[in-house]
Amino acid sequence: MDVYWKANAYIEIPEPFFDMPLLPAKLYITLLLFVKEGKEDIFQTYEEKVLPILGRYEGELIYRIRAQADSFLHLGYEMPYEIHLLSFASLADFERFKQDDERKAYAYLFQESVRETILIEGIKRL
């Protein structure tokens, strides 16, 4: 099983990658969430409203981890408040989820409570 990762940055892709046949691929999203101090309850409200919407778009919350300092073997950056691993049947499903009107209606909760995110996209060739 090959997994290819792409961060929100330009990266060099090894030449053999382009020789791979285009196969169906499941999308995986790892999201590191850095919540503003004192805004954890607002973030929790956002999560309660938005996470149930995932299923409408073939999305699934696989892991939702509340980070603890003693869980890290190495911490080369600030510790996130939560780490999420999500999956979607396709990139198109993820894009439709991002455009969901109900999800967008709660965006103010996210903006009020989250100061930084790191999103890592990966695919699993089926």
Instruction: From 73, 84, 104, select the one nearest 34 (Cα to Cα).
Output: 84
Q: How many other C-beta atoms are found inside a 10 Å radius of the C-beta of residue 120?
A: 14
Q: Which residue has the higher pLDDT, 12 or 57?
A: 57
Q: Which residue has the higher pLDDT, 3 or 98?
A: 98
Q: In the structure encoding, which two tokens stand for residue 18, read together?
A: 């382009």
Per-domain boundaries in the chain: 24-125
Under a CB-based contact definition with an 8 Å cutoff, are residues 75 and 67 in contact?
no
Residue 113's pLDDT is 98
Q: What is the pLDDT of residues 37-87, one digit of tens each?
A: 999 999 999 999 999 999 999 999 999 999 898 888 898 999 999 999 999
Separation CA 85–CA 119 (nearest Å): 10
Query: Mapping DSSP to helix (H, G, I), strand (E, B) and coil, where does residue 90 land?
Result: coil
* pTM of the predicted structure, to 2 decimals: 0.77
Separation CA 46–CA 51 (nearest Å): 8
Select from 3.20.20.70, 3.40.50.720, 3.30.70.100, 1.20.1270.360 the CATH code of 24-125.
3.30.70.100
Residue 67's pLDDT is 87
Q: In the structure encoding, which two tokens stand for residue 78, read together?
A: 């600030």
